[in-house]
């Protein structure tokens, strides 16, 4: 090995050492087993860094050319899965630099000029979070469009809306699907915010406080798509706020999916029977032949624990860290990577389940047939007749109690019967008391009347189209 590294020639940092590293230590400190996920970002960063070094004459054209070529070969080796990852080389940064030396020789020894792994990993991680945030924003936009499709297709289907898991007021399936869409839309905005927040390049921060060499930070930053450079190296090498921001967005998304998963796990039971999830998304039991289980939804609900755990894990790593870079920060990655992959899988599958499942109209109609969920409408109609709302509430409460006792429906009450409770009910009142009318009449912004749902859908479409 022609590399002049000193006492521990295996290592890029071996010069001041007098013996080789303990094997257990190597295994303990390595991150290559997981941070290889950063290979694309690392190569992208090195390409931009090399181009800048050429610009400021710290590399010759020949050297820069060889480095770029070597990086292309490395890129191909990793894609073809023949890259020789070695845990003695600790992490993705040193694996790539070592390989670059094997491939192009001496010029590779200049790639790390005016750079530290501290600003290198700070950059790679930012690029990674930008990529994954955009990917999530894209997936969530797709998901919202799927829900818009379902909402329009099922606008006529009515179902009970719930609070406290008790029937509350009738709504339409169109309105229901858009409620989930609103949540996912907020999640999408959160991921877009994480991306938009990452505008500054940390490259040039060096290990913590820059370099004496005449580098051009702005030009690398621009080449990498940033609009500027970070303002303080000490902060920039240790800032992982954006990882926490991404994980927070991941947690919120997971909470939304897990609540919905719970809802559909219930809705797919024989007891509810509101939704029919296609067989391809269900699993069977090894013992009970009749079973058809919603395991995918259960796992989406369960994996939420994992994602929340990753947020807690990261926050615990960051807690109490003195400035600036500390090796603890290497532990940020598995939390980030696993959370990103988990939400990607959960969203992809839930989007398909949501788009391909059908609501059982008969079951929903049956569920609506006990018509106490029209009681609020009755009270509001008394208000129209001049009765104060509190009094109207009490009157209808008594009507509901009577109907419950007599096993009658509200809509079956005659004018005479209604007048016993209040003379304010107009003639033929009960016959207009239907879930259809109830939904149609709640015609206000944010309400379930079909035109209002459509109005909101158009607004959301404009947002998704970036108009």
- The least distance separating ligand ARG from the CB of residue 303, rounded to whole angstroms, comes to 25
- The least distance separating ligand ARG from the CB of residue 101, rounded to whole angstroms, comes to 18
CB closer to ligand ARG, 160 vs 206: 206
Catalytic residue among 18, 57, 164, 286: 164
Q: Is 42 in the site for ligand ARG (CB under 6 A)?
A: no
Nearest to residue 450, comparing CAs of 183, 160, 171, 182?
171
Q: Given the rule CB under 6 A, which of 114-122, 163-171, 273-281, 442-450 is the region that contacts ligand ARG? A: 114-122
Based on the residue annotation, tell me whether 357 is a catalytic residue of this protein.
no
Based on its alpha-carbon atoms, the radius of gyration of the chain, rounded to whole angstroms, reads 31
Catalytic residue among 285, 369, 412, 431: 285
Q: Is 118 in the site for ligand ARG (CB under 6 A)?
A: yes
Q: Is 324 in the site for ligand ARG (CB under 6 A)?
A: no
Based on the residue annotation, tell me whether 285 is a catalytic residue of this protein.
yes
Q: Given the rule CB under 6 A, which of 78-86, 162-170, 326-334, 371-379 is the region that contacts ligand ARG? A: 326-334
Q: Given the rule CB under 6 A, which of 116-124, 181-189, 290-298, 457-465 is the region that contacts ligand ARG? A: 116-124
- The least distance separating ligand ARG from the CB of residue 217, rounded to whole angstroms, comes to 19
Q: Is 327 in the site for ligand ARG (CB under 6 A)?
A: yes
Q: Is 95 in the site for ligand ARG (CB under 6 A)?
A: no
Contact (CB, 8 A) for 450 and 440: yes
Instruction: Tell me which of 44, 49, 115, 117 binds ligand ARG, using CB under 6 A.
Output: 117
Ranges within 349-408 binding ligand ARG (CB under 6 A): none
Instruction: Tell me which of 46, 330, 342, 422 binds ligand ARG, using CB under 6 A.
Output: 330
Secondary structure, 3-state, the chain: CCCCCCCCCCCCCHHHCCCCCCHHHHHHHCCHHHHHHHHHHHHHHHHHHHHHHHHCCCCCHHHHHHHHHHHHHHHHHHHCCCCCCCHHHCCHHHHHHHHHHHHHCHHHHHCCCCCCHHHHHHHHHHHHHHHHHHHHHHHHHHHHHHHHHHHHHCCCCEEEEEECCEEEEEEEHHHHHHHHHHHHHHHHHHHHHHHHHCCEECCCCCCCCCCCCCCCHHHHHHHCCCCEECCCHHHHCCCCHHHHHHHHHHHHHHHHHHHHHHHHHHHCCCCCCCEECCHHHCECCCCCCCCCECHHHHHHHHHHHHHHHHHHHHHHHHCCCCCCCCHHHHHHHHHHHHHHHHHHHHHHHHHHHHHHCEECHHHHHHHHHCHHHHHHHHHHHHHHCCCCHHHHHHHHHHHHHHHHHHCCCHHHCCHHHHHHHCCCCCCCCHHHCCHHHHHHHCCCCCCCCHHHHHHHHHHHHHHHCCC
Instruction: Tell me which of 140, 159, 194, 329 binds ligand ARG, using CB under 6 A.
Output: 329
Q: Is 268 in the site for ligand ARG (CB under 6 A)?
A: no
Ranges within 163-192 binding ligand ARG (CB under 6 A): none
Q: Is 129 in the site for ligand ARG (CB under 6 A)?
A: no
Tell me phi and psi for residue 200, to 5 degrees. -115, 140
- The least distance separating ligand ARG from the CB of residue 234, rounded to whole angstroms, comes to 14
Q: Is 97 in the site for ligand ARG (CB under 6 A)?
A: no
Q: Given the rule CB under 6 A, which of 72-80, 140-148, 323-331, 437-445 is the region that contacts ligand ARG? A: 323-331
Q: Is 203 in the site for ligand ARG (CB under 6 A)?
A: no
CB closer to ligand ARG, 41 vs 330: 330
Any bridge partners for residue 275, and if so which? 359
Structure tokens at 223: 């080449």
CB closer to ligand ARG, 121 vs 277: 121
CB closer to ligand ARG, 21 vs 219: 21
Instruction: Tell me which of 12, 31, 184, 410 binds ligand ARG, using CB under 6 A.
Output: 31
CB closer to ligand ARG, 118 vs 304: 118
CB closer to ligand ARG, 157 vs 315: 315
Residues found near ligand ARG in the complex (CB under 6 A)? 31, 35, 91, 117-118, 121, 325, 327, 329-330
């Amino acid at each position: 090995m022609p590399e002049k590294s000193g006492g521990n020639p295996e290592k890029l940092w071996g010069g001041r050492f007098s013996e080789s590293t303990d094997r257990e230590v190597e295994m303990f400190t390595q991150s290559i087993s997981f941070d290889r996920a950063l290979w694309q970002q690392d190569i992208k960063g090195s390409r931009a860094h090399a181009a800048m070094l050429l610009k400021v004459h710290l590399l010759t054209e020949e050297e820069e050319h060889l480095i770029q070529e070597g990086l292309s070969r490395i890129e191909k080796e990793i894609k073809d899965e023949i890259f020789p990852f070695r845990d003695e080389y600790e992490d993705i940064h040193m694996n790539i630099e070592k390989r670059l030396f094997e491939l192009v020789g001496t010029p590779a020894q200049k790639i790390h000029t005016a750079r530290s792994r501290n600003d290198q990993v700070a950059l790679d991680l930012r690029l990674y979070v930008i990529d994954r945030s955009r990917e999530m924003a894209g997936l969530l936009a797709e998901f919202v469009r799927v829900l818009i499709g379902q909402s329009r297709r099922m606008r006529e289907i009515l179902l009970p809306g719930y609070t406290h898991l008790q029937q509350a007021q009738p709504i339409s399936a169109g309105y229901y699907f858009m409620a989930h869409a609103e949540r996912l839309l907020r999640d999408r905005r959160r991921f877009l915010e994480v991306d938009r927040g990452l505008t500054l390049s940390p490259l040039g921060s060096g290990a913590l406080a820059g370099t004496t060499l005449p580098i051009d930070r702005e030009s690398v930053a621009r080449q990498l798509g940033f609009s500027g450079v970070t303002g303080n190296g000490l902060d920039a090498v240790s800032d992982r706020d954006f990882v926490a921001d991404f994980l927070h967005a991941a947690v919120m998304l997971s909470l939304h999916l897990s609540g919905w998963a719970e809802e559909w796990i219930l809705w797919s039971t024989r007891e509810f029977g509101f939704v029919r999830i296609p067989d391809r998304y269900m699993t069977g039991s090894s013992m009970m032949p009749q079973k058809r289980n919603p395991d995918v939804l259960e796992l989406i609900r369960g994996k939420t624990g994992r994602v929340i755990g990753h947020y807690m894990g990261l926050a615990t790593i960051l807690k109490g860290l003195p400035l600036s870079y500390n090796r603890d920060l290497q532990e940020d990655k598995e939390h980030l990577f696993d959370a990103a992959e988990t939400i990607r899988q959960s969203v992809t599958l839930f989007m398909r389940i949501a788009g391909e499942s059908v609501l059982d109209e008969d079951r929903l109609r049956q569920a609506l047939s006990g018509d106490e969920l029209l009681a609020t409408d009755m009270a509001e109609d008394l208000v129209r007749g001049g009765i104060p709302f509190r009094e109207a509430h009490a009157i209808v409460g008594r009507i509901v109690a009577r109907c419950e006792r007599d096993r009658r429906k509200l809509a079956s009450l005659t004018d005479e019967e209604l007048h016993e409770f209040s003379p304010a009910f107009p003639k033929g009142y009960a016959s207009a008391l239907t879930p259809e009318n109830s939904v149609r009449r709640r015609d206000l912004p944010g309400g379930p009347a079909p035109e209002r749902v459509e109005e909101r859908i158009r607004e959301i479409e404009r947002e998704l189209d970036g108009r």
